[in-house]
Amino acid sequence: MLKNRHFLPLSQDLRKASGKSYPEKHIFLTGFMGAGKTTVGRHLAKILNRPFLDMDEELVKYHKKSISQIFAENGENFFRRTETTLLNSLSEQDRPKVIAAGGGSVLAQANIHIFKQALTFFLELSPEKAWERINRNQDEARPLAVNYAAFKDLLLSRLDRYRQCGAAFPADGAPEEIAAKIADFILYEEPLELKAEGRACQIRPYVSPEDLRELKETVVGGRKCFVLADHFFQDASDDFTEVFRDAVFASPEKRGEEAKTLEEAATLLLKMTEAKLDRSDFLIVRGGGSLTDLGALCAGLYKRGLNLILVPTTLLAAVDAAIGGKAAVNLAGAKNQVGLFHLAKEVWIDPLSFKTLPPALLRDGLTEAYKTALLFDPGLVDLITRNLDSLLNGDVPLLAQTASDSARHKASLVAKDLREEKGLRDLLNLGHTYGHAAESYNAPEVSHGQAVALGLAVALNYSRRLHNLDPHLAQTGIDICRRLAGGRFPPPPPKDEALRLLGFDKKIRQGELNFVALKAPGQAFLDKGVKAEAILEAAEELSIA
């Protein structure tokens, strides 16, 4: 654990509260008048890419009266009842939000129970500071803030109730700083370790700006850093570029898959030589999967092995390309023809970068994560199924959990078969047999993710037809794959072309085609000696449906 990691003493473990897993929960901010719940909440919602809702604002809109008018005309008891009704309604909504709760909502014990089941943070402020704030902001009359003595007594009388609801955060700082600390708390997870062939790779599912500074000291120390960064970050002025301002920065000439060439690798290796790196120095790669592939290859080649840190900034890279030690570039139009295995020393996943991804790239990453879930984790299948809308809308806590779980499962398998010598990593090709055929047939109009989404649907239908996969589970999975493909699957290759393309599958052994199938989510196996026609029949049934 990083020594400066910010943790708070909790009366309950917010991450393991009963009910849904914590990334699916609403995030409530409670606290007294003047604590800044609304302002902090808006900042937090922006960081986490979640909808924001203020309970007081919702009640004002519903009653078409200000809070002070409701108190004056209907009384406080009436207001508290409508507040509880709203809170119950919100707790039943599936799409997770950041919600600023009313200051007095903790008065009802039933409401405290709702807060405990959610992810709730108490913005704690002294009576003096709270009084100063509300008197500075005179936009609205506050019926319970008549004089300081009564105001202080009311705050102190509620203090224990606020503390029952969740973690207390000091609220006397800048709202954006408080929001950042809460986001840091929500997103942090313990590092994973991938050990293989006497080497160890630390996979960190979330690295805060504070962590970056500490990792620069503890992992890199005083050694040189050469940063290979995606074009997107060329002119960035962010925490990463500030922490590594003394490093040499470079970007490839081309973008995406087009950067995976021997020419680009040679150019990068020359720049690394000009920077006079030695084997104790570091290459840090910050970008998507194509860039991590290119950078890892160069790190493995340079002086027979340079320290490597990968900072995947796309979901696809975080769940796949950056995990597993494989590095390669393309040659003569064939993917990943020149490569090697070079395990990174560290992988720093940046889930906050996922919210800036174009929808198509986000879907591609989710497709790979869904594949991993089907292979290893029924719980992750359920999480993706329940929250697909929020995931597609870029909900950061849900994307972070999806990336972390996917990375953990892939790392566990890779540790057993780093160099693909035991056949264990063949399972990771679920959906890729037919997916690669569809990708080749439709290139370049169809992305790898779209093609794999179709391939996964074919695998699910094949497993239903031949291996008794539950029909409801199969159909639900097919529907999810269709959405991940963008609403419709890419065109399937004609039969003769599909047969030809399936003949190139890398799982062919001694002339026999092997196909990854499912008995149930988490129960994958390699179906050996498969007839290609059986795969095509499963695909044809999808295109007819």
Look at residue 542 in the predicted model and tell me its pLDDT: 86
Query: What is the three-class DSSP state of 210?
Result: helix
Q: For the chain, list the domains and their CATH numbers.
A: 14-186 (3.40.50.300), 189-375+396-402 (3.40.50.1970), 430-544 (1.20.1090.10)
> Tell me, what DSSP letter sits at residue 259?
G
Q: What is the pLDDT along the chain (545 residues), one digit of tens a residue?
A: 454 444 443 434 444 443 335 799 999 999 998 899 999 999 999 999 999 999 999 999 999 998 889 988 999 899 999 999 999 999 888 799 999 999 999 999 999 999 999 999 999 999 999 888 888 766 556 766 668 998 999 999 999 999 999 889 999 999 999 999 999 999 999 999 999 988 999 999 999 989 999 999 999 999 999 999 998 887 778 899 999 999 999 999 999 889 999 999 999 999 999 999 999 999 999 999 999 999 999 999 999 999 999 999 999 999 999 998 999 998 887 778 899 999 999 999 999 999 989 999 999 999 999 999 999 999 999 999 999 999 999 999 999 999 999 999 999 999 999 998 888 888 999 999 999 899 889 988 999 899 999 999 999 999 999 999 999 999 999 999 999 999 999 999 999 999 888 877 666 665 688 899 999 999 999 999 889 999 999 999 987 55
What Å distances lie between residue 141 and 35, 53, 66, 67, 203, CA to CA?
16, 21, 9, 8, 51
Look at residue 137 in the predicted model and tell me its pLDDT: 67
List the structure tokens of 423: 């056949």
Q: List, in order, residues 6 or more apart from 544 with CB less than 8 Å away.
A: none
Look at residue 465 in the predicted model and tell me its pLDDT: 96
Burial class of residue 216, CB neighbours in 10 A (0-12, 13-18, 19+): middle
Name the E strands within 171-318: 192-196, 199-204, 225-229, 248-250, 282-287, 307-312
Look at residue 544 in the predicted model and tell me its pLDDT: 55
Q: Which of 438, 455, 448 is nearest to 500 (CA)?
A: 438
CB distance 189 to 244 below 8 Å: no
Q: How far apart are CA 514 and CA 526, in angstroms?
A: 6
Q: How far apart are CA 117 and CA 476, in angstroms?
A: 28
Between CA 381 and CA 521, with CA 545 as vertex, the angle to 5 degrees is 20
Q: How far apart are CA 60 and CA 137, in angstroms?
A: 18
Quick: pLDDT tens for 8-23.
Answer: 434 344 444 433 357 9
Q: How far apart are CA 93 and CA 534, in angstroms?
A: 42
